[in-house]
Amino acid sequence: MTTHGTSPQQGSAVGQRLRALRDARGLTLSELARLAGVGKATLSGLENGSRDPRLETLYAIAAALGVPMSALTLDRGAPASAASPVRGEAVVSTLLEVFEEPAATYELFALRIVVGVDQVSPAHPAGVTEHLTVFRGHARVGPVDAPLAAGPGEHVRWAADTPHLYAALGPDEVEASLLIRTPRR
């Protein structure tokens, strides 16, 4: 059963990519769970396709593996349109495009932030930046200890190597784009 905007096929595909990345790095399930700060049962459920991928969990795992999130949600070479939306506590994220350059990977997402819930995303690896442009609504985003506010037509940028939050301010959902730049290691 899926409850967060994902399909069983997506969960299975994420699990296969996750296991391949973990194996390629020589990590056990326990080691990756510890590095990512997620439960071993959660990680096992993701790998075997019995658990829906959640946005916060995928970001924590991607950070621990040192890869952009699209490495977990999209087959290499597949078009971004093949990715399904992924839901977090307050955010629904849909991958629009992945841009590969020698120095970095850029992931462009359509983002919807729901009203009434704050979402704290885990820290990304050093050097990762996030760039949010708001189209509708008002958002509070960025580092948990120094969040930024943005409204329609405004753009904000922050270093995403610390926990950061997403929240809708006011009565309206936020529609925005999010560009994440992940430097190559």
Q: pLDDT per residue over 138-164, tens digit each?
A: 999 999 999 999 999 999 999 999 999
Reported residue count of the chain is 185
pLDDT at 11: 60
Whether residues 60 and 122 share a domain: the answer is no
pTM of the model: 0.83
Low-confidence ranges of the chain (pLDDT < 70): 1-11
Whether residues 51 and 17 share a domain: the answer is yes
Residue pointed to by tokens 């290691």: 185
Whether residues 56 and 13 share a domain: the answer is yes
Whether residues 19 and 66 share a domain: the answer is yes
Question: Alpha carbon 84 to chain centroid distance?
Answer: 12
Q: Does residue 84 form part of some domain?
A: no
The residue range of the domain holding 25 is 8-73
Q: pLDDT per residue over 45-66, tens digit each?
A: 999 988 888 888 988 998 899 8
Q: Does residue 80 form part of some domain?
A: no
Asked if 78 and 13 touch (Cβ cutoff 8 Å), the reply is no
* CATH code, domain with 53: 1.10.260.40
What is the rounded (10 degree) CA torsion for 156, 160, 164, 168?
30
Q: Does residue 146 form part of some domain?
A: yes
